[in-house]
């Protein structure tokens, strides 16, 4: 049963996000919107790489009877997420650890991949990653996504679903191809283009170098670099 | 395209019920890109050639730019 109408801005207003953890952005918003379309009551949900906890909080504020599990590798994020769930009178099981490591032996109906999904070189010059936010996703931004895709079938209940972000500041074709090798149903549920933040314009040459090497992708239009974020759902592991 | 059609296109994209005065409303960069993409479909190659079009995220600025390129009826 849906409790109330979802508003990203309202959820954001009701949480605190420490400066040294990942800052919620468009990918966060699209991840929430995609999950809300797909989720059902009584589902158990894992938010992998939860950061401030915003995704879990948005979902729990919208759906009743959801069991929420969150994890992050960053101790500051864990503390921040716990405080935000408390602030919103919600409860979730929150564990610290790398990717699926804290959840050995557990299974979920819905897993949201919320970990770094852009090229490490781009992350370093972006405004989204604080000083201490890890981004070990490799030059093409796919390392963590591929690892999660590979391990996820072990952590999904029958009929379960893995949701992944596809950000054009990584090699999204590689991620999609890998997903299609592992899952029978891979579907894009959300897609949005966006201007690269102004403060990154000065790194244009480096970005073009990464693009030339097919490590990331973007287009240039209206004299600006335009990127894309999509969300894909992966169901029925092969 | 006339002013009414431009207003309609913008209102549809910004999708904000609380906008009372569109002429003085500054929309965000996501909405702006969507507006430009839509205008680009209507006027292929013409929108992208307008200087600083990516910064014109208010009705007044956009209206002025479109009129100067004869893409908006000045009526």
pTM for the predicted model, two decimal places:
0.89
Residue A208 lies in a domain: no
**What range does the domain containing A145 cover?**
8-195+228-237
Name which of A74-78, A162-166, A208-212, B16-20 the model is least confident about: B16-20
Contacts 24+ apart (CB under 8 A), A214-219: A214/A171, A215/A119, A215/A139, A215/A140, A215/A141, A215/A170, A215/A171, A216/A118, A216/A119, A216/A122, A216/A140, A216/A141, A216/A168, A216/A169, A216/A170, A216/A171, A217/A168, A217/A171, A217/A172, A218/A168, A218/A169
Structural domains in chain A (count):
1
Residues of A in contact with B34 (CB under 8 A): 193
Calculate how close chain B gets to A222, using CA atoms only, in Å. Answer: 4
Residue A131 lies in a domain: yes
Residues of B in contact with A226 (CB under 8 A): 33
For position A39, which CATH number holds? 3.40.50.150
Name which of A85-94, A126-135, A223-232 the model is least confident about: A126-135
Residue A71 has pLDDT above 70, yes or no: yes
Mean pLDDT computed over A98-103: 96
Residue A99 lies in a domain: yes
Calculate how close chain B gets to A55, using CA atoms only, in Å. Answer: 20
Residue A127 has pLDDT above 90, yes or no: no
């Amino acid at each position: 049963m849906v409790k109330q109408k979802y508003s990203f801005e309202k959820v954001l207003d009701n949480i605190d996000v420490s400066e040294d953890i990942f800052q919620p952005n468009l990918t966060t918003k699209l991840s929430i919107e995609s999950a809300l379309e797909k989720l059902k009551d009584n589902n158990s949900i894992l938010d992998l790489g939860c950061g401030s906890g915003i995704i879990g909080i948005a979902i729990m504020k919208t759906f009743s009877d959801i069991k929420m599990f969150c994890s992050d590798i960053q101790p500051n994020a864990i503390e921040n997420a716990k405080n935000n769930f408390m602030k919103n009178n919600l409860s979730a099981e929150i564990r610290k650890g790398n990717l699926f490591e804290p959840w050995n032996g557990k299974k979920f109906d819905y897993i949201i991949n919320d970990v770094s999904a852009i090229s490490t070189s781009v992350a370093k010059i972006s405004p989204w990653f604080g000083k201490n936010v890890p981004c070990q996703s490799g030059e093409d931004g796919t390392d963590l996504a591929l690892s999660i895709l590979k391990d996820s079938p072990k952590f999904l209940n029958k009929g379960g679903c893995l949701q992944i972000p596809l950000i054009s500041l990584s090699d999204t074709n590689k991620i999609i191809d890998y997903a299609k090798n592992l899952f029978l149903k891979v579907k894009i549920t959300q897609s949005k283009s966006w201007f690269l933040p102004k403060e990154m314009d000065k790194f244009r040459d480096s970005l073009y170098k990464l693009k030339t090497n097919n490590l990331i992708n973007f287009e240039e239009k209206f004299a600006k670099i335009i990127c894309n974020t999509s969300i894909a759902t992966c169901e029925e592991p092969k | 395209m006339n002013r009414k059609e431009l207003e309609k296109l913008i209102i549809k994209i910004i999708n904000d019920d609380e906008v009372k005065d569109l002429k003085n409303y500054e929309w965000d960069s996501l909405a702006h890109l969507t507006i430009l993409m839509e205008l680009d479909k209507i006027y292929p190659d013409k929108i992208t050639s307008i200087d600083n079009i990516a910064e014109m995220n208010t009705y007044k600025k956009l209206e002025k730019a479109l009129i100067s390129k004869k893409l908006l009826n000045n009526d």
